[in-house]
Structure 1
Amino acid sequence: MNSMLWPTYDAPGDLTAIEAVPLTDRGLPESTYSLLSRAASLWPDRVAVSVLPDAARWEQPAERTFRELLADVHRVANLLHGLGVDRGDAVALLSPNCDELVTATLAAQLAGIAAPINPGLSPDHITQLLNRSGARVLVAAGPELDPGVWQTAREIASRGEVDALLVLRPTAGDGAAEPLAAIGDVRLGYLSAMAQDEPAFGFAGVEPTGSDLAAVFHTGGTTGTPKLAAHTHANEVSDAWMIAANGLLDEASTVFAALPLFHVNALVVTVLSPLFKGQRVVWAGPQGYRDADLYGCFWRLVERYRIAAMSSVPTVYALLAGCPVDADITSLRFALVGASPLPQAVRESFETHTGVALVEGYGLTEATCASARSFPYAPRPGAVGQRLPYQQVKTVEISASGEWVDLPHGAVGILAIKGPTVFPGYVTGRSSEGRLLLDGLGKLRDGWLDTGDLARIDADGFVHLAGRAKDLIIRGGHNIDPALIEDALLSHPDVTAAQAVGRPDPHAGEVPVAFVTVAPGATATAAELRDWARANVAEQAAAPKSVTVLEAMPVTDVGKPYKPALRAEATRDAVVAALAGVDEVAEVRGLVEDGGVVAEIEATTGLEEALVKDALGSFPIAWRLASRT
């Protein structure tokens, strides 16, 4: 194995030796296209992707070698180039996962810029993202693959928002494709049929360089306006290498993928990173981990394909911990977990049930994907992982005037990241030449990224999260912008103020809840306002579980909304519900401490701590017992 490309990286102590060699000397491919081309050159006849049509047909995948994958990417990229897609042009992708979506995503990065969009968003929200990216070509799920997404794509195209609509069929689709009714002057057709006669042995346009944009991913942020975080090819290749550099997986390893491709984890961890070592990726069907049938066959699937690694969110591992292990799963060396806090009870139940280590990680879209990971054989309790090679981390205190003050190891502050994976900025518009304009919007300072997360960092570079300074609600790994909920509630004539926060949940990590104040004499009830919000939010995942009417919103000394107090109240409510049958509990308080929330449980004598631990173990909650005297 090439020691320059693959240094020893098995334990926390390896970091110093790795960074003694500059990253520029590692010989990384310049672009995601170069990375794919390298894989096709080294392992042309090895299976690259095995895509399941759905969980019921888990033994009938559609498979392509690295040579075939590259040829298909060439065809689609040449089609996009012929449609006028240039280096600075975005191609929007709106579809659940399927075999063709993997190709289309890589081809969009070769011909122009990939702009994946969550198909669960409302048509208006999708249109905003299209307009922000400037995409005039839309690749979308067709009527056979997802009728709902197809209807949305047709509606958008009929309004003149795109010039071309390229349609995806289901993986291993049988029979003739359903005819597509014309949509005005929009160029319309099935992607595979339109691309089949395009050149397969090269790209007709200009190949991307490391500094060119590869993708723009939408991210939550703190306002209702869509924010598109841009990634360069160098961002994605370097982060994919940092993930692949671990010594736990070799060229013969197989990776399982089921997260949606509009999420950076799916792209970087399960598309790009395996290309470095020629690893096979087995993709779940279009519903991914949301396919209930997947859990009935999951362990047999692991045995059938000799899965060595997988990546998901805590909710999935909680479900798998309850699935009987009915197969030989000794091939599964570790399972990556991230996107939301990992409850200790979920870790314990999954690892005890399967014997497979959960490897926690941390990252965010603005730093491409991953910035820290843990080690299965060198646990660091309470940490989400050690910083990845060539990424610097620190904590800072940001003053009222915006000045940054660096904090020492062990001090809690805003987590900041610097290095080759930090994004160049958010898309703010287009230049007169049609290029995307980028701006850090206050998140970048001298190359450092303000993550908005509170953390402390120990002397070995391990990151210990201590809460979120930003307000995103993370439901099962899905980012929910609270402004979506707040705007929906503020559209009700009785509501005078609205704030949405996450309430701890044993299954989803967090679920959205809202707090409102209403006008004097208003008659709307909390239940009516909850139903109003559910009917008016832009995406169903953001529908609040509850709405609470307050006399006044908590505010800071300068009159700004104080969400930590609301998160504390939501946490108190979750704990009260979980301990409803415990007679010894006298009172539960939600407290804000060091920027985080702690549930303080006041109990009469006789309450056993083990009982509380059992009741709250699956919740991502910090709690403590206090005796009532």
Structure 2
Amino acid sequence: MTDDLLWPRYAAPTDLAAIEAVPLADRDLPETTYALLARAATRWPARTALSVLPDAARWREPESRSFAELLADVHRCANLLHRLGVRRGDAVALMAPNCAQLVTAMLAAQLAGIAAPVNGALSRPHLAELLRRSGARVLITAGPELAPEVWETARALADELDAVLVLRPTGAGGAAPPLDDIAGVRVGYIDEQAATEDAEAFAGEPPRSADLAAFFHTGGTTGAPKLAAHTHANEVADAWMLAANSLIDPDTVVFGALPLFHVNALVVTLLAPLFKGQRVVWAGPLGYRDAALFGEFWRIVEHHRIATMSAVATVYATLAQVPVDADISSLRFAMVGASPLPPAVRTDFQQRTGVPLLEGYGLTEATCASARSFPDAPRPGAVGQRLPYQHMTVLENGVLAISGPTVFPGYVVGREDHGYRLDGLGKLVDGWLDTGDLAEIDEDGFVHLRGRAKDLIIRGGHNIDPALIEDALLAHPHVTAAAAVGRPDAHAGEVPVAYVAVAPGAAVDEVGLLAWAAQRVPERAAVPKAVTVLDALPLTAVGKPYKLDLRADATRRAVADALAAVPDAEVEAHIDDGSVVVTVTAPTSCDRTAIGDALGAYAVTWNLHITQDAS
């Protein structure tokens, strides 16, 4: 592999054509994530690969591994998994907050079999279904020291497993607490179980580029889970596209704090740095959810000489309010994605820190990243230019589609003797991935998002793009987040309403915001009927906007208004398999006909629960 081919100039949007003049196959990328790690360990054996913080307070006491040490640890762990019966086509589930041992386990699971990381904060039925779909017989999970609640969940789910391997906190000292026996299941600490395994090589069959590397669950926190499959070729190609950025070099120190059950953490802050031998500083187990991290953040940047980081917009909104009390000159740029970047957040963060915020775009079904921005070539309104070798088009319905080496092979829909059954479930057509995102692409390949197709608000048969409303509200100097959804309406089917979060201490109210929107939303039908201020908008566990909760709230309010004349009627709304369902609770003396007549005019699913009248 020659560095001339591996690292073309990639510092500006104009470099894209020259990069793609060389076929990707000629760039001789490592075949698998294991080959990528082995290459790093061969080239830079003594260089520090990762420094993991025990928690926000102990940022001066990281647990560090060189590239050679990381490879040795991965060999031991993968050999343990192999001894437990894990083979190339077998999934290994991982359920734990970030820690040093989880980084090793993630890479080892992709070497021995297929990594299937899951979010331990999901409901137990949801987790049980994810484990069932993955077919995992081995679970690597947090122990009682690292995350007691996750450990209890793991014990509750262990009946269908062969082995449970337990992780300790980063920097844990002293004897580990004893683990309860689980009938018929092998239980033990992963470091103790792997201690005698061979550190020099993997005893099993190494993976190939077309082999499955990982399963990542997609979607929000409710509804039927989906497992998106990634091949080794998918992950290596996407990691290279990010590492090819000429703005980063081998001395660049990367900060990582997103959970490893999210593709961004794997591809952006674990795999991509392996290409150039960069050190990654990992936050403690709570990551950006650790309130103490923000108070220490600028000192962490100074101490570890952090050069770049990746986070969601809400993280930068918080950091913009934290006084810069350290030398942060090492921080060259910060990457943001997963949700729209409000102009107020960008302005506040950049003015207070001097650090440019670079937007990106991606989705799990395209491995991770599909577009990037450039600090010296801002493109207002765009989330970035498409990455090399990823091709994009806008379909007739206005939806963005992607093809290329990062497009996933499908969702896991079953397993047979010869392996997993994968299906695109309507998202894959002739190699093109339907992203579900409404978008426009300019002549330079920059992507301008216009909302989610499924988020369209349909008012009397007229389609309203929520982005029209959200963009208008995000232009307000005190609005830090905005989301528009449809509220059921007896006459129009649904009408637009908006929810916003504002900067701390902002002197703004819902009446003023509604007037602001009315003056700036370019389409009269799209002007929201109401604006509601919340402390924070709902997000998924990885920081993506979660509009279902807002739709449920809007539906609840609409039904409550419709039943205002029904004495003692109480209204609740919940999410059931991705849809909003309303429950009306009323006493036996209620007029059921009146309730039925009132709600019959709304396109909502509802149930009536009758309670005894108060005596």
Shorter-normalised TM range: 0.7 to 0.9
Q: 2:406 is matched with which residue: 417, 421, 436?
A: 421
Identify the residue that residue 451 of structure 1 maps to in structure 2: 435
C-alpha contact 2:316 2:345 (8 A) present in aligned 1:
yes
Identify the residue that residue 195 of structure 2 maps to in structure 1: 196
Within-5 A mapping of 1:199-210: 199-210=198-209
C-alpha contact 2:480 2:502 (8 A) present in aligned 1:
no
1:223 offset after TM fit, Å? 8.2
Structure 1 pair 56/28, CA: closer, same or farther in 2 (3 Å)? same
Structure 1 pair 583/143, CA: closer, same or farther in 2 (3 Å)? closer
C-alpha contact 1:572 1:589 (8 A) present in aligned 2:
no
Q: 2:417 is matched with which residue: 432, 435, 460?
A: 432
C-alpha contact 2:481 2:500 (8 A) present in aligned 1:
no
Q: How far, CA to CA, are the matches of 1:437 and 1:579 in structure 2?
A: 52
Q: TM-score, normalised by structure 2?
A: 0.79
Q: How far, CA to CA, are the matches of 1:597 and 1:191 in structure 2?
A: 55
Q: How far, CA to CA, are the matches of 2:513 and 2:19 in structure 1?
A: 56
Matched, 1:40 2:47: no
C-alpha contact 1:140 1:166 (8 A) present in aligned 2:
yes
Structure 1 residues 105-143: Cα deviation after superposition (integer angstroms, max 9, x where no partner): 000000000001011101110000000111111111000
C-alpha contact 2:49 2:64 (8 A) present in aligned 1:
yes
Identify the residue that residue 213 of structure 1 maps to in structure 2: 212
Residue 199 of structure 1 aligns to a residue whose secondary structure is: coil
Q: How far, CA to CA, are the matches of 1:12 and 1:574 in structure 2?
A: 34
Structure 1 residues 157-214: Cα deviation after superposition (integer angstroms, max 9, x where no partner): 1xx2211110000000121101011000101000111001010000011110110000
Q: How far, CA to CA, are the matches of 1:257 and 1:351 in structure 2?
A: 20
Identify the residue that residue 142 of structure 2 maps to in structure 1: 141
Where do 5+ consecutive residues of structure 2 fail to align? 457-466, 532-544, 546-615
Output the amino acid matched with 2:137: R
C-alpha contact 2:257 2:282 (8 A) present in aligned 1:
yes
Identify the residue that residue 323 of structure 2 maps to in structure 1: 324
Identify the residue that residue 395 of structure 1 maps to in structure 2: 394
C-alpha contact 2:109 2:115 (8 A) present in aligned 1:
yes
Q: How far, CA to CA, are the matches of 1:464 and 1:442 in structure 2?
A: 24
Q: How far, CA to CA, are the matches of 1:470 and 1:297 in structure 2?
A: 40
C-alpha contact 1:392 1:418 (8 A) present in aligned 2:
yes
Output the amino acid matched with 1:172: G
Output the amino acid matched with 1:194: Q
Output the amino acid matched with 1:173: A
Residue 239 of structure 2 aligns to a residue whose secondary structure is: helix
C-alpha contact 1:212 1:232 (8 A) present in aligned 2:
yes
Structure 1 residues 280-338: Cα deviation after superposition (integer angstroms, max 9, x where no partner): 00000000011111111111110111101000000000111111111111111100000
1:71 offset after TM fit, Å? 0.3
Q: How far, CA to CA, are the matches of 2:180 and 2:404 in structure 1?
A: 49
Identify the residue that residue 118 of structure 2 maps to in structure 1: 117
C-alpha contact 1:221 1:227 (8 A) present in aligned 2:
no
Identify the residue that residue 380 of structure 2 maps to in structure 1: 381
Which stretch of structure 1 is more off in the superposition, 585-594 or 223-232? 585-594
Which stretch of structure 1 is more off in the superposition, 505-514 or 59-68? 505-514
Output the amino acid matched with 1:27: D
Residue 428 of structure 1 aligns to a residue whose secondary structure is: strand
1:580 offset after TM fit, Å? 3.5
Q: How far, CA to CA, are the matches of 1:119 and 1:390 in structure 2?
A: 35
1:554 offset after TM fit, Å? 5.9
Identify the residue that residue 186 of structure 1 maps to in structure 2: 185
C-alpha contact 2:95 2:141 (8 A) present in aligned 1:
yes
Structure 1 pair 583/456, CA: closer, same or farther in 2 (3 Å)? closer
1:570 offset after TM fit, Å? 3.1
Where do 5+ consecutive residues of structure 1 fail to align? 399-412, 473-500, 516-549, 556-564, 603-619, 621-629
Output the amino acid matched with 2:329: T
Structure 1 residues 474-496: Cα deviation after superposition (integer angstroms, max 9, x where no partner): xxxxxxxxxxxxxxxxxxxxxxx
Structure 1 residues 517-572: Cα deviation after superposition (integer angstroms, max 9, x where no partner): xxxxxxxxxxxxxxxxxxxxxxxxxxxxxxxxx565965xxxxxxxxx46x22359
Identify the residue that residue 231 of structure 2 maps to in structure 1: 232
Residue 302 of structure 2 aligns to a residue whose secondary structure is: helix
C-alpha contact 1:254 1:306 (8 A) present in aligned 2:
yes
C-alpha contact 1:168 1:191 (8 A) present in aligned 2:
yes
1:26 offset after TM fit, Å? 0.6
Identify the residue that residue 526 of structure 1 maps to in structure 2: none
Structure 1 pair 222/153, CA: closer, same or farther in 2 (3 Å)? closer
Identify the residue that residue 426 of structure 2 maps to in structure 1: 442
Output the amino acid matched with 1:243: L
C-alpha contact 1:48 1:280 (8 A) present in aligned 2:
yes
Identify the residue that residue 560 of structure 2 maps to in structure 1: none
Which stretch of structure 1 is more off in the superposition, 316-325 or 219-228? 219-228
Identify the residue that residue 15 of structure 1 maps to in structure 2: 16
C-alpha contact 1:374 1:386 (8 A) present in aligned 2:
yes
Q: Percent identity at matched positions?
A: 65
Identify the residue that residue 570 of structure 1 maps to in structure 2: 498
Structure 1 pair 513/153, CA: closer, same or farther in 2 (3 Å)? farther
Structure 1 residues 33-81: Cα deviation after superposition (integer angstroms, max 9, x where no partner): 0000000000000000100000010100000000000000000000011
Residue 198 of structure 2 aligns to a residue whose secondary structure is: coil
C-alpha contact 1:306 1:332 (8 A) present in aligned 2:
yes
Q: Give the alignment's Cα RMSD to 1 decimal.
A: 3.1
Matched, 1:463 2:447: yes
Output the amino acid matched with 2:427: K
Structure 1 residues 562-594: Cα deviation after superposition (integer angstroms, max 9, x where no partner): xxx46x22359999x954364994995997969
Residue 105 of structure 2 aligns to a residue whose secondary structure is: helix
Q: How far, CA to CA, are the matches of 1:119 and 1:507 in structure 2?
A: 32
Q: How far, CA to CA, are the matches of 2:287 and 2:480 in structure 1?
A: 16
C-alpha contact 2:218 2:225 (8 A) present in aligned 1:
yes
Residue 38 of structure 1 aligns to a residue whose secondary structure is: helix
Q: How many residues align?
A: 514
Identify the residue that residue 580 of structure 1 maps to in structure 2: 510
Q: TM-score, normalised by structure 1?
A: 0.77
C-alpha contact 1:115 1:133 (8 A) present in aligned 2:
yes
C-alpha contact 1:337 1:359 (8 A) present in aligned 2:
yes
Q: How far, CA to CA, are the matches of 2:385 and 2:513 in structure 1?
A: 42
Structure 1 residues 62-107: Cα deviation after superposition (integer angstroms, max 9, x where no partner): 0000000000000000001111111111000000000000000000
Q: How far, CA to CA, are the matches of 2:47 and 2:500 in structure 1?
A: 53
Structure 1 residues 317-360: Cα deviation after superposition (integer angstroms, max 9, x where no partner): 01111111111111111000000000011011101111111110
Structure 1 pair 601/77, CA: closer, same or farther in 2 (3 Å)? closer
Matched, 1:83 2:13: no
Deviation beyond 2 Å, 4+ runs, structure 1: 501-515, 550-555, 570-575, 577-594, 596-602
Q: How far, CA to CA, are the matches of 1:133 and 1:63 in structure 2?
A: 32
Which stretch of structure 1 is more off in the superposition, 232-241 or 287-296? 287-296
Q: How far, CA to CA, are the matches of 1:297 and 1:432 in structure 2?
A: 51
Within-5 A mapping of 1:288-367: 288-367=287-366
Output the amino acid matched with 2:394: T
Residue 325 of structure 1 aligns to a residue whose secondary structure is: coil
1:231 offset after TM fit, Å? 0.3
Q: How far, CA to CA, are the matches of 1:361 and 1:467 in structure 2?
A: 15
C-alpha contact 1:299 1:325 (8 A) present in aligned 2:
yes
Output the amino acid matched with 1:83: L
Q: How far, CA to CA, are the matches of 2:222 and 2:404 in structure 1?
A: 27
Q: How far, CA to CA, are the matches of 1:69 and 1:119 in structure 2?
A: 25
Q: How far, CA to CA, are the matches of 1:112 and 1:512 in structure 2?
A: 42
Q: How far, CA to CA, are the matches of 1:281 and 1:207 in structure 2?
A: 26
Structure 1 residues 400-426: Cα deviation after superposition (integer angstroms, max 9, x where no partner): xxxxxxxxxxxxx10000000000000
C-alpha contact 2:484 2:498 (8 A) present in aligned 1:
no
